[in-house]
Structure formats: C-alpha cells, structure tokens
C-alpha cells in the first residue's frame, strides 16, 4: 500500500470521535452498520482531499 494513502487513512481513523468508536463496537447491527458507513465516508473524504478532515461543500 502506498505510504501516503496509509497515512491519510490513519489520520482519518485517529480523528474518529469517541461516539463513533463506541458505535463501531455496538452489538446492535444497525448502529454498527451506520458507524461503518460514516467511517467509510470519512476515509473516502480523506483520500479525496488528502486530509483527515471532512470535505467542504
């Protein structure tokens, strides 16, 4: 894996708020699925924008 991509993914996941981390560990499949989608979107934005910050509209 490209080191730049790896670093972008790492920064995005490090910035994940605690509530998102808790939801990723939830036993409720719906809550967990929503958290996974949010994390995937965060990572996609980081890769598209080169940062761990959310994309600006």
The pLDDT tens digits for 42-55 are: 999 988 987 555 54
Which positions ≥6 away from 25 have C-beta within 8 Å? 32
Q: pLDDT at position 4, please?
A: 87
Question: Considering the entire predicted model, what is its pTM?
Answer: 0.74
In 3D space, the residue among 2, 34, 35, 1 whose CA is nearest the CA of residue 20 turns out to be 35
- Give pLDDT < 50 ranges for the chain: 55, 57
How much is the pLDDT for 26?
96
The predicted pLDDT at position 39 comes to: 94
Residue 57's pLDDT is what? 46
pLDDT score, position 40? 94
């Amino acid at each position: 894996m490209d080191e730049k991509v790896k670093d972008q993914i790492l920064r995005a996941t490090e910035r994940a708020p605690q509530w998102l981390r808790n939801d990723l560990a939830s036993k409720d499949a719906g809550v967990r699925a929503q958290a996974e989608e949010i994390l995937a979107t965060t990572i996609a934005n980081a890769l598209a924008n080169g940062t761990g910050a959310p994309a600006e509209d």
